[in-house]
């Protein structure tokens, strides 16, 4: 299992990131995958495999390293859910964005990189991807069922690169009122496109997840692939 080490910009240490390269060696865009509350687990590694199959370099940083490095749990047991929510509560999103910016900067100079970088996040990572669209220089950002996106709408004017937002219309962790605000606020934005997936629950695209929805995942992933190819080459 390949990995790289990235220095934190605040001088507090360094963190690891899972790395998977495409089979065809050529200059390629990099997709920084942003983890859910379960850490860099098998679902994220499987997502990295899909990204590599598209012809991109996949990099998935361990954002929980400041709490506990190497978190790798699933959504299958009550104990794991409890631990995941504990990690979510302890996670510093400001520091997380700093670490993601450091990851994007490192990704631009990876061997085999063409210098173009995307972020693509899920759940907690979906929120962070939206924040990266507002706060970073990533070339494109993709948010899957991000939580609490309605409290990020005030900074939408800072979004100058493509931002694709996937919203589940039965999301148990993002109330309908908040989802509606995001859809309304992003409508007509020159750089943001939001899609709502009918009858889909939170984490509908989590590989082998309890809420996996094959139809919604296929449609969302197809849209993401098109956006990535357009932005990263």
User: Residue 218 is part of a domain; what is its CATH number?
Assistant: 3.40.50.1820
pTM greater than 0.85: yes
Among 62, 139, 202, 211, the one annotated catalytic? 202
pLDDT in tens, the chain (233 residues): 699 999 999 999 999 999 999 998 689 999 999 999 999 999 999 999 999 999 999 999 999 999 999 999 999 999 999 999 999 999 999 999 999 999 999 999 999 999 999 999 999 999 999 999 999 999 999 999 999 999 999 999 999 999 999 999 999 999 999 999 999 999 999 999 999 999 999 999 999 999 999 999 999 999 999 999 999 99
Concerning whether 171 is annotated as a catalytic residue, the answer is: yes
Domain that holds residue 84: 3-232
Q: Which residue bears the tokens 């490095």?
A: 69
Among 171, 195, 208, 213, the one annotated catalytic? 171
Report the Cα–Cα distance between both ends of the chain, in Å, rounded: 26
Concerning whether 211 is annotated as a catalytic residue, the answer is: no
Domain count for the chain, please give it: 1
- CA angle at residue 219 from 27 to 128, to 5 degrees? 65
* Strands across the sheet containing 57-61: 3-7, 14-20, 57-61, 28-34, 113-122, 140-144, 163-168, 192-197
């Amino acid at each position: 299992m390949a990995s790289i080490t990235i220095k934190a910009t605040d001088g507090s240490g360094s963190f690891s990131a899972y790395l998977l390269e495409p089979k065809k060696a050529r200059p390629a865009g990099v997709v920084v995958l942003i983890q859910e509350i379960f850490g860099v687990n098998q679902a994220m590694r499987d997502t990295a495999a899909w990204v590599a199959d598209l012809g991109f370099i996949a990099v998935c940083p361990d954002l929980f390293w400041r709490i506990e490095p190497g978190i790798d749990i699933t959504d299958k047991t009550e104990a794991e859910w409890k631990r995941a929510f504990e990690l979510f509560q302890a996670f510093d999103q400001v520091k997380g964005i700093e670490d993601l910016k450091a990851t994007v900067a490192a990704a631009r100079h990876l061997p085999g990189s063409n210098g173009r970088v995307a972020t693509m996040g899920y759940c907690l990572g979906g929120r962070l991807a939206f924040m990266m669209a507002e706060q970073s220089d990533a070339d494109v950002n993709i948010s899957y069922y991000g939580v609490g996106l309605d409290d990020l709408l005030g900074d939408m004017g800072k979004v100058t690169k493509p931002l694709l937002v996937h919203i589940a219309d039965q999301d148990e962790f993002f109330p309908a009122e908040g989802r509606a605000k995001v859809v309304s606020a992003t409508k007509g934005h020159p750089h943001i496109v939001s899609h709502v997936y009918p009858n889909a629950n939170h984490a509908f695209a989590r590989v082998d997840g309890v809420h996996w929805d094959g139809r919604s995942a296929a449609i969302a992933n197809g849209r993401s692939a098109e956006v990535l190819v357009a932005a990263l080459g």
